[in-house]
Structure 1
Amino acid sequence: MKAIGELRDFYGKSDESSREWARHADDVCFAYDVDNDSIRIRLKKIRIKLQDKAAEWFHDHSDLFSTWQEFVLTSIVRFPPPLTSIQAHFELKNVKQRENESTVDYYHRVLDLCEKVDPQMTRQAQIIHLFGGLRQNLQTLLSTQNIQTTAHFMAQIMNLETAERKILVQNYVVPQYPSSECVYENQFITAFISNQPPRLV
């Protein structure tokens, strides 16, 4: 029983995550070799950590659980994740890079959503979410790359954006005899690339 004592109580409240609690319970059981117990013995040990609504629910349905996975899935359905997690699921499913959103901001926004939805989400799943909502032009360019990690994803995006800015400058034609307005406009574009303020003429 020492192992189960390390597991926090679960009440089934709206601000509790049954998914996280079940994951913690699984970790505790594995660490203390409770994992080798039969499902009945394991559930009997877990029972003392269920309180209030969760305890009542377990009492009424404990005979229905033939596996640990069945118990976990049923508990998640009965006690769904907090609303913020549900919202994160919806937002992640429909995530798109906003019109004026930098790629860096988009990158961190998507990874934050991934963390809220599933702290154990695989890197491959994170990359799929990052790629899916990316601006179309970057998505097309990135599709030829073999992305292995989220850091690699970000590095490739930065390289592509740098290349795009270089092309923008190379294709900009400065008039042969520019007026002061044209000179300032050219300086403005150069300043955009170099992050330096343009000089007034």
Structure 2
Amino acid sequence: VNTDPLQQMKDFVKSFNGNPTDDVTKWLDSIIHYFDIAQISGDKETLYFQYAPAFLKEYAYRWWTDQKHYIFSWSTFKQALMTQFAEKNEYLIEQQFDQRKQQLNEPVIKYYYDIIDLCKKYDPHMSDKQKIRKLTNGLKLSLYQEAIKESYSTPYEFLTKVQQLENTQKLIESRQDQTAQVSNIMNHNNKFSSPHHRSNNYTTKSMYYPSSVQHDYLYEQQFESNQNQQYPTSQSFQSQQMYNQPHSSTYQKNY
């Protein structure tokens, strides 16, 4: 079993490159999260600072090689990294914060954590009451109508209760879909069983008979054919006489 923390961390912590799209706050949180669950003895912040720089790549690594001589603790490292790579465009952060709403098919849990991350960027000291208000106002309408009837003491309580509402709505939607399918099947069957539909389509619809019935029908047809040959009708007899008469003289002369 590999007990090297650095090797184990690679399954939990991604590299931080320092690109504009990289979220330095999430990356720092991933370092803390690993050591929260790893059973490694020692001071936590010392371990953070010891292993975190190994995951700096590209621009972040170049920054670290320039600054490492002035950074001697986790708190200093964290603050310096945030100062250099955290989102500094306050207008962009505010725009994202104002415009973020739950999408139609977006799970509540994804929406919740995206809003919490935006709250941290927009105002690190935002109160729970303000976070709950932001979370509630951004819900899609079907959940918002039910969520405003509840009260929440913490953002996590909001998440728990609204997820219950989400599950209830999924069950209702599932029942509605089943009811609609049954209704469509019944309407389809009623359409094909209506007298009007039968009168318009009976000549074109092929009928299925059991093999025994088909055999009897063929036998009856064959019997009638034989009877007609033995006892021709007056019409067929007349036709036969006309056929047996000699051709006209005109025809014979021409021949």
| Higher-RCO chain (CA-CA 8 Å, sequence separation at least 6) | 1
- Please state which structure has a larger fraction of its residues in helix: 2
Q: TM-score, normalised by structure 2?
A: 0.39
